[in-house]
Amino acid sequence: MSRPRKSTHIREKLISEGTELLKLKGYHGTGIKEILDRVNVPKGSFYNFFESKEKYVAEIIENYNMEVLKEVDTFIEKSSRNPLEKIINAYSYVIKEIEKTGLTGCLVGNLAAELGDSSKECLFQMKNGVKLWKSRFVSLFQEAQEKNLLRKDISAENMADIFWNSWQGGLLRMKIEGNTEQLEMILDKLLNTLFRN
């Protein structure tokens, strides 16, 4: 097996360190210098890897979307056969992960709040993030409706959207209130009461 090139390795480290810092400090609060220092790369070499900060962050979002999708797919695959339980299990796992790793929230949501439409490159990737998430979850909600687990007077797409939106708001509450109570409440009240048949 050939060893990966050193530059590929540095590029990957810049992406992963950047992801963490962006989650924590946002777009404008994250300095390129801080990331370079962390990865131990000399100042000035950043532009050998990325054309601009904007393109760098857009690539970070793209990478984040793919990671999330991969995790979701693995989880859905190995989890219970019941589509509703798949959703509940996946998000209960997310809450546990958040409690373990820190209350930083969702990269797409955070950057959307901060950047709005000020960066076309990032916006494209944020939009794609929502689309990819929906590509998995609308089907699960639909399957749960077909199995009579969920009500049918609202569409599976609307359910998925309300779930995504509430969750993002719940992540803001988590940041404001310093706990995951709202996330747990959302998971319970939407999936066990409001969406139920």
The residues that touch a second copy, with contacts defined as CB under 8 A, are 24-29, 103-105, 108-110, 112-118, 123, 126-127, 130, 153-154, 158, 161-162, 164-173, 175-178, 182, 185-186, 189-190, 193-195
Q: Which is nearer to a second copy, 97 or 177 (CB)?
A: 177
Q: Which is nearer to a second copy, 79 or 121 (CB)?
A: 121
Give exposure, 118-156, as e/b (b: 16+ Cβ within 10 Å).
Answer: ebebbbebbeebbebbbebbbebbbbbbeeebbeeeeeb
C-alpha to C-alpha distance for 71 and 103, rounded to whole angstroms? 19
Name the minimum Å distance from CB 62 to a second copy: 14
Give 66's contacts (C-beta < 8 A, 6+ positions apart). none
Name the minimum Å distance from CB 120 to a second copy: 11
> Token digits for 54?
């904007």
Name the minimum Å distance from CB 100 to a second copy: 17
99-102 contacts: CB < 8 A, separation 24 or more?
A: 99/180
Q: Which is nearer to a second copy, 10 or 194 (CB)?
A: 194
Q: Which is nearer to a second copy, 107 or 140 (CB)?
A: 107
Name the minimum Å distance from CB 107 to a second copy: 10
